[in-house]
Structure 1
Amino acid sequence: MPPVIAVSGASGRIGGRVAQRLATAGVSQRLLARDPAKLPDLPGAIAAPAAEYGDGVAMRRAIEGADTLFLVSARESADRVREHITAVDAAVAAGVQRIVYVSFQGAAPDATFTFARDHWHTERHIRGCGLPFTFLRDSFYLAAFPAMTSDDGVIRGPAGEGRVAAVAHEDVAGVAAAVLTSDAGEHNGVTYDVTGPVSLSLAEVADTLGRVTGREIRYVAESHDEAYASRAGYDAAAWELAGWVSSYEAIAANEMSAVSDAVPRLTGSPARSFADYLREHPNSYRHLLPNA
């Protein structure tokens, strides 16, 4: 039988794009999601039973029969590390022979960005399982820039003059598909930083958004305390606020500034710039257009 790849988060922005690429390549897949009704209908793909990362029994049932698990990190939560560990243990119990995990650039136990610490703990657990693995440490997503720009045309946060090598979801999916469909041994034990082609300051991000939207977009640097105060009205949990604020502080610390060649080297195509992303996704900045 041909090898089978279990693609988690296959109804999402990374997993869905990876599943599309694998289907085009004729790869057999098991597609995983919390709600199988949202899964794409693809040739050579089977919709696995509903499974959440934190449910080990359901995850094992969903992964059963797969040779490789492509593990997209779970949505941010207070229990994300536990959910990841449960999903990994379920995959090992189901008999997978390899795990390819979507991690984060700068993952470390003392990373400034609190969610990057989650990824480091997950990586450590995967390393301890004894299976071949590949880690794809994505940088900040380009899609986040328009989303974190308020309707009044301001990006606010404690990023200082730091820089970030943000990347497009499409390019992450391209790298993942290349790793999953090539000789596994070539990538075993390898950690790839997956970045855009350049490192940007938030002032440069604002300038690009301004040129595209035809209005003034500004970056306003905040202090740590100002950042918490400006987000207090969202009534978010403490762990979520810490994640939001520390993501900017990680940019200030240049923990996501290094540019890698993983996208062009593994996909054969150049990584998308922020301007490229905006041309391909005009709806992403619709809220910023004059008279929107």
Structure 2
Amino acid sequence: MDALATLAVTGVTGVVGGLVSRGLELKGLSHRLLVRTPAKAPEVAGTSIHAASYADGQAARAALSGVATLFMVSAAESETRLDEHRTFIDAAAAAGVRHVVYTSFVGAAPDATFTLARDHFFTEEHIRGSGMGWTFLRDNFYMDIMEHLVGTDGVIRGPAGDGTCAIVAREDVARVAVEVLGDPEKHSSKSYDITGPEALSFEQIAATLSDVRGHAVSFHDESVAEAYDSRGHYGAQAWELDAWVSTYTAIRSGELAQVSGAVHDITGISAVSFERFLREHSV
């Protein structure tokens, strides 16, 4: 393990960060794993483990000392996520990090329909103002979670209308990240929309699930009021309900329909389709 590696990766106990770490391992690129709980860190050759969290600036600064390039997976959704991001970014800049590769969201903007995309916009702005170089991977919604939106009755419910979304596999996001981290200067000051190869409506997503899984899945287009009512029994906070419902209204708005060729352009391999993804992955 190389404690002096100048590349650091966060989110390694999650799917995207874990895939990125393993992709770097395959390329023989030593890196640090930044984790809140070191005991939960994956075993990856050529890595060292460093305890750090986004909310603890002092620990983050120590863990990032000597790091040149940082892969920053966005923090878990919470009311304090943006503050945590800012604390961590400030710590990275203070530690001397030169380049941040950040997992953002397609259409990140202060007035984005998807409420959590607003956090991504302000995080991007904080990185831009930090003095560090940057690359933003603006991911669309993950196709990996589509199957989890199906209710026990086989119905996907939400106010998405006939809007479409260029959903992307997390493994494609990770492949892009690995390539960018291998040559960050090549991708400096660039934002990439990371999408799948096609934009699908929920009617099409449901039909594909039905065909591949062999059981009926359908889509019910709720009104916005119905969407809030149907999710109210979970006891979620207001910001969580807004995020859940705006997942669908953002699709209805057309803001997430644009298909990008970035996955192929950067990795040389086309993004996986939703049908292929389902056939290659079990539930």
1:234 paired with 2:234, answer yes
Cα deviation, 1:218-267, whole Å, max 9, x if unaligned, reads 10001110000000111111110100001100000011111001111111
For 2:98, give the aligned amino acid. Answer: Q
For 1:207, the aligned partner's letter is A
- Partners of 1:11 and 1:171 in 2: how far apart? 18
Find the counterpart in structure 2 of residue 290 from structure 1.
none
The separation in 2 between residues aligned to 1:36 and 1:151, in whole angstroms, is: 36
Task: Specify which of 33, 36, 59 is matched with residue 34 of structure 1.
Answer: 36
Indicate the SS of the match to 2:103: strand
State the TM-score, normalized to the length of structure 1: 0.94
Question: What is the match of residue 115 of structure 1?
Answer: 116
Q: Distance in 1 between matches of 2:76 and 2:237?
A: 15
Alignment of 1:1-292 (within 5 A): 4-49=6-51, 51-182=52-183, 184-283=184-283
Contact 2:5-2:32 within 8 A present in 1 as well? no
Q: Distance in 1 between matches of 2:86 and 2:262?
A: 27
Q: Distance in 2 between matches of 1:94 and 1:120?
A: 23
Which segment is superposed worse, 168-177 or 51-60? 51-60
Q: Distance in 1 between matches of 2:157 and 2:62?
A: 44
CA distance in 1, matches of 2:212, 2:281: 12
Looking at structure 2, the residues matched to 172 and 215 of structure 1 have their Cα atoms a distance apart, in angstroms, of 29
Is 1:4–1:27's contact at 8 Å kept on the other side of the alignment? no
Helix, strand or coil for the counterpart of 1:166? Answer: coil
Q: Separation in 2 of the partners of 1:37 and 1:103?
A: 27
Instruction: Give the root-mean-square deviation of aligned CA atoms.
Output: 1.2
Counterpart secondary structure, 1:231: helix
> Secondary structure in 2 aligned to 1:143?
helix
| Structure 1 unpaired stretches of 5+ | 284-292
- What is the deviation of 1:3? 5.8
- Secondary structure of 2:193's match? strand
CA distance in 1, matches of 2:89, 2:15: 21
Q: Percent identity?
A: 51
Does the aligned pair in 2 maintain the 1:53–1:86 contact within 8 Å?
A: yes
The range that moved more, 59-68 or 233-242, is 59-68
Q: Distance in 1 between matches of 2:231 and 2:177?
A: 34
- Equivalent in the alignment of 1:288: none
Q: Distance in 1 between matches of 2:56 and 2:253?
A: 36
Q: How far apart are the structure 2 equivalents of 1:281 and 1:32?
A: 28
- Look up the SS of the partner of 2:15 in the other structure: coil
Deviations 1:106-157 (A, max 9, x none): 1000000000000000000000012110000000000121011111100000
Answer yes or no: is the 8 Å Cα contact 2:16–2:170 preserved in 1.
yes
Measure, in 2, the Cα distance between the counterparts of 1:33 and 1:239: 26
Q: Which amino acid is 1:38 matched to?
A: K
Q: How many residues align?
A: 281
